[in-house]
A and B are shown apart, each in its own frame.
Chain A
Amino acid sequence: MSEHFEPGERHEAAERLRRAGYSEADVQREVTELEQKSTTAARIFDLRRIIGGLFVLYGVILTLTGLTDSDAEIDKAQGININLWTGLGMLALGVFFLVWLWLRPASAPAPPLPAPEDAPSE
Chain B
Amino acid sequence: MQTPTDSVQLAAELRLPTNALDYTILGIYFVVVLGIGFAARTSVKTTLDFFLSGRSLPAWITGLAFISANLAATEILGMAANSAQYGAYTVHWYWIGAIPAMVFLGLVMMPFYYGSKVRSVPEFLLLRFDKWAHLLSSALFAFAAILIAGVNLYALAIVVEALLGWPQWVAIVVAGFFVLAYITLGGLSSAIYNEVLQFFVILAALIPLSVLGLKRVDGWDGLTDQLTATHGENFTTAWGGTGIGSANPLGANWLTIVLGLGFVLSFGYWTTNFAEVQRALSAKNLSAAQRTPLIAAYPKIFIVFLVMIPGLVAAVLVPDIGTADSDLQYNDAIPYLMAQLLPNGVLGIAVTGLLAAFMAGMAANVSSFNTVFTTDIWAKYVVRDREDAYYVRFGRLITAIGVAASVGTAFLASSFSNIMSYLQTLFSFFNVPMFVVFIMGMFWKRASMKSGFWGLLAGTTAAMINYFVLYKQDVIGIPTDQGANFVSAIAGFVAGAVVMVAVSLFTAPKPDEELQGLVYGTRSPGMAEPPAAGDDAWYRRPALLGWGAVVLAAACYIPFSF
Contacts and interface: CB of A to CB of B under 8 A. Distances in A.
B421 interface: no
A80 B529 contact: no
B342 A77 contact: yes
A55 B200 contact: yes
B284 A122 contact: yes
A7 B530 CA distance: 31
A65 B345 contact: yes
A35 B55 contact: yes
Given A35-B54, A40-B57, 16 more contacts: A22-B123, A22-B126, A24-B127, A24-B524, A38-B45, A41-B54, A50-B36, A50-B193, A55-B204, A61-B345, A62-B346, A62-B349, A77-B212, A86-B204, A122-B284, A122-B285
B346 A86 contact: yes
Contacts of A107: none
Contact of B54 (A40, A61, A76, A83): A40
Contacts of B514: 23-24
B459 interface: no
Interface of A is mostly: helix
A9 interface: no
B518 interface: yes
A93 B517 contact: no
Contact of B119 (A31, A76, A77): A31
Contacts of A69: 343, 345
Contact of A39 (B28, B44, B211, B212): B44
A58 B530 CA distance: 42
Contacts of B284: 41, 112, 122
A76 B39 contact: no
A10 to B, nearest CB: 15
A87 B212 CA distance: 15
A40 B127 contact: no
Interface stretch (B170-178, B380-388, B397-405, B450-458): B380-388
Interface residues of A, number: 54
Interface in B190-206: 193, 196-197, 200, 204
A44 B55 contact: no
B341 A77 contact: yes
B46 A38 contact: yes
B429 to A, nearest CB: 28
Given A22-B127, A58-B349, A82-B346, A51 B119 contact: no
A74 B44 CA distance: 48
A39 B48 CA distance: 9
A74 B346 CA distance: 12
Contacts of A82: 208, 211-212, 342-343, 346
A86 B200 CA distance: 12
Given A38-B54, A40-B56, A121-B529, A19 B197 contact: no
B215 A121 contact: no
Contact of B46 (A15, A39, A89): A39
Given A24-B517, A90-B204, A38 B345 contact: no
Nearest to B115: A28
Interface string B198-224: 001000100110011001100000000
A34 interface: yes
Given A47-B61, A82-B208, A121-B530, A54 B215 contact: no
B117 A61 contact: no
A15 to B, nearest CB: 6
11 contacts: A24-B518, A27-B127, A35-B48, A39-B44, A47-B61, A50-B193, A61-B21, A80-B212, A80-B215, A121-B529, A122-B55
B332 interface: no
Contacts of B126: 22
A37 interface: yes
A28 B24 CA distance: 48
Interface string B520-541: 0000111001101000000000
